[in-house]
Structure 1
Amino acid sequence: MVTLEYKDQVAVIEGGELISYKDEGFEYMHQKGQPGWGNSDAEMFPVIGPTAAAGYRVQVPKGNAVLDQHGHLRELRYTQQEQKERSATYIKQYTAGTLISNSKYPARSKAPKLIWPFSFVFKKHFQLGEEGLKITFGISGDKDMPYMLGYHPAFQLRTENARVIAEGRSYGLREVMEAGDRALEVSGTELLILEDEKRIGLRTRGFGQFMLWSPVASMICVEPITFYPYAVEQTFLHEGFRHLDGPEATFEVLLIPNIKS
C-alpha cells in the first residue's frame, strides 16, 4: 500500500488501485465493502462493454481475440515501478497469445480463458499537485494494435440530490440509475463535475466522452471512455477501436477537489 501526500491532499494506492483520495480530510472515493461495487477504481482495456452476446469474440485484424466484459487488463497484476512523496508509477505487461484465466468463470461467464493477439505495456502514473490528483495512462505495444480505453473510478455519495454537470446540462442520480448496466452516455466533453456534499471535477485529455453508472444511491462511477460500447451491437464492437500509431498513446484524468466551476 502506497500513500502520497501533498498539502491537504492524501491519496492511497493498493496494487495500482486508487482506494482513497482525501482533500482536507474529506473522502471522495467509494470504499471497498460498501454497497454497490467491489472496487474503487479499474481500467477497461482493450475493449469497453460486454462481449457475451458475441460469444466473447471480438473482431481484430490478426489472430483470435477472446475477451470478457471490459477486456482482460483487470485480470493482470500491476507491478510498482517507482514511488516518490507525491507520485507513483505502476505497469502491467501482456505477451501476445498468452492465455489468461477469467475470474468471472464459471459463475458469471462462459469463457474460462481469455486471449489477445497483441503484446502491450500499460502504465498508470499518479501525481499529486496544486490542482489535484493527476492519473496518466500510457499504452505501448505492437504497432497498429486496436484498443479502447476506459477509466472506471467510483465515488461516494452522501446526499439524495447528487448530480453530474457537463456542458451546461445536469444529470441526476435517478437518471443515471435508470440507465442500468448500459450506463448513461455523456458525449463530447472532457470535463465533468460531480456535485454532492462537496464537488469534484474530472478533467480529461484524450478520451473525449464519459459514461455514468450507479447501482446504488450511495455511489456513482464517472467513467472517461474513448468509445461508448452500446452505440453498436456487440458483434460490431470492433467499430469503436482506435489503433496504436506511435510509440505510446497517453491519456490523462485530473481529479480536482472543491472545483469552483
Structure 2
Amino acid sequence: MVELKSDASLVRIYQGELVGFEVEGHQFIHQKGSPGWRSSDTEMFPIIGPVDQAGFRVQVPRNNAIQDQHGLLRELPYVLISESQNEAVYVKEYRAGTPVENSKYPEKSTKQHLEWPYGFQFEKSFSLKENQLEITFKISGEQGMPFMLGYHPAFKLQTQHPTIVTPTRTISLDEVIEVGSRALQVADTTSITLKDKHHITIQTEGFGHFMCWTEVRNMVCIEPITFYPYAVEQREIHLGFDCLDGDHRIFKVALHPKPQKS
C-alpha cells in the first residue's frame, strides 16, 4: 500500500489502483468489498466497451486484434517506479503480439488469451497537491498505434438522491441506473461535479467525454473517455480509435473535492 499525504488529505494506492481519497475525514472513493463493483478504479485500453458480438476481434491496420471488454491493459500488473510523500508513479509495459491471460475466460469469455499487435508503455502517476488529486496517464509506443482510453473510477455515495452536474445538464442517479450496463453517455464534456453529501469535481484534459455507470445506490462510476463505445456496432468499434501521433500522449484527470455539506 502506498500513501500520499497532505495536511487534510490522504490518498491510498494499492498496486496502481486508487483505493482511497480522503479529505477532512470524508472518503470519496468506493471501497473494495462494498456492493456494486469489486474494484475502485481501473483503465480501459486500448479499447473501450464490449466486443463479444464481434467475436472478440477488433479491426486495426495490422489485421485483427483479439480483445475482450475494455481491452487487455487491466490484465497486466503495474510496477511502482517512484514514490514520494505526495507523488507515486506506476508503469505497465506490453510487447507487441504477446498473449495475455484473459481473466474472463472461461466463465464470461470464449477467448483464453488476448493480443494486441502494437507494443506500448502505459504510465499512471498520482500527484497530491493540497486537497486536489491529479492522475496523469502517459501512453508511449509506436507512432500511428490506434487506441481508445477510458479511466474508470468509482465514487462512494452517502445520500439517496445525488446528482451529476455538467455545464449543460443535471443527471439523477436513477437516470444512470436506468441505462444499465451500456453506461450513460455524457458527450463533449471536460468537467463534471458529483453532488452528494460532499461535492467532488472531475476535470479532464485529452479525453473529451464521459460515461456514467452503476447498478446500485451506494456508488457511481464517472468515467472520462475518448470515445463512447455504444455509438457504433461492435464490429465497427474501430471507428472510435484515436492515433498515437508522436512517441507519446498525455491525458489528465483532476479530482477537486469540496468536503462541505451540499
TM-score greater than 0.5 by the shorter chain:
yes
TM-score range with shorter-chain normalisation?
A: over 0.9
Q: Are residue 135 (structure 1) and residue 135 (structure 2) matched?
A: yes
The 5-angstrom pairing of residues 154-193 of structure 1 reads: 154-193=154-193
1:59 is aligned to: 59
How far has the Cα of 1:130 moved from its partner? 2.9
Q: Deviations over 1:36-60 (max 9, x none)?
A: 0000000000000000000000000
2:104 is aligned to: 104
2:207 is aligned to: 207
Q: TM-score, normalized by length of structure 2?
A: 0.98
What are the ranges of 5 or more consecutive residues in structure 1 without an aligned counterpart?
Answer: none
How far has the Cα of 1:184 moved from its partner? 0.2
CA distance in 2, matches of 1:63, 1:116: 10
| 1:44 partner letter | M
SS of corresponding position for 2:65: coil
CA distance in 2, matches of 1:139, 1:253: 14
2:9 and 2:131 in contact (8 A); partners too: no
CA distance in 2, matches of 1:8, 1:163: 25
How far has the Cα of 1:64 moved from its partner? 3.3
CA distance in 2, matches of 1:259, 1:36: 23
Q: Deviations over 1:100-131 (max 9, x none)?
A: 01000001111111000000000000000035
Q: Deviations over 1:177-216 (max 9, x none)?
A: 0010000000111000000000000000000010000110
| Cα RMSD after superposing both structures | 1.2
How far has the Cα of 1:248 moved from its partner? 1.0
CA distance in 2, matches of 1:168, 1:112: 43
CA distance in 1, matches of 2:130, 2:27: 18
How far has the Cα of 1:142 moved from its partner? 1.1
How far has the Cα of 1:247 moved from its partner? 1.7
CA distance in 2, matches of 1:66, 1:54: 10
Q: Identify the structure with the greater strand proportion.
A: 2
| 1:70 partner letter | H
| 2:151 partner letter | Y
How far has the Cα of 1:35 moved from its partner? 0.4
2:85 is aligned to: 85
How far has the Cα of 1:168 moved from its partner? 3.3
1:14 is aligned to: 14
Compare 162-171 and 33-42 and name the one that shifted more: 162-171
2:208 and 2:225 in contact (8 A); partners too: yes
2:2 is aligned to: 2
1:64 and 1:115 in contact (8 A); partners too: no
SS of corresponding position for 1:70: coil
CA distance in 1, matches of 2:63, 2:79: 27
CA distance in 1, matches of 2:114, 2:208: 28
CA distance in 1, matches of 2:139, 2:188: 23
Q: TM-score, normalized by length of structure 1?
A: 0.98
Identical positions, percent: 50
SS of corresponding position for 1:179: helix
Matched residue count: 261
Q: Deviations over 1:143-183 (max 9, x none)?
A: 10000000000011111111100013110000000010000
CA distance in 1, matches of 2:126, 2:227: 23
1:201 and 1:259 in contact (8 A); partners too: no
How far has the Cα of 1:63 moved from its partner? 4.0
2:24 and 2:259 in contact (8 A); partners too: no
CA distance in 2, matches of 1:145, 1:103: 25
2:151 and 2:225 in contact (8 A); partners too: yes
SS of corresponding position for 1:42: strand
Q: Deviations over 1:53-88 (max 9, x none)?
A: 000000000143000000000000000010000000
2:156 and 2:220 in contact (8 A); partners too: yes
SS of corresponding position for 1:180: helix
2:142 and 2:247 in contact (8 A); partners too: no
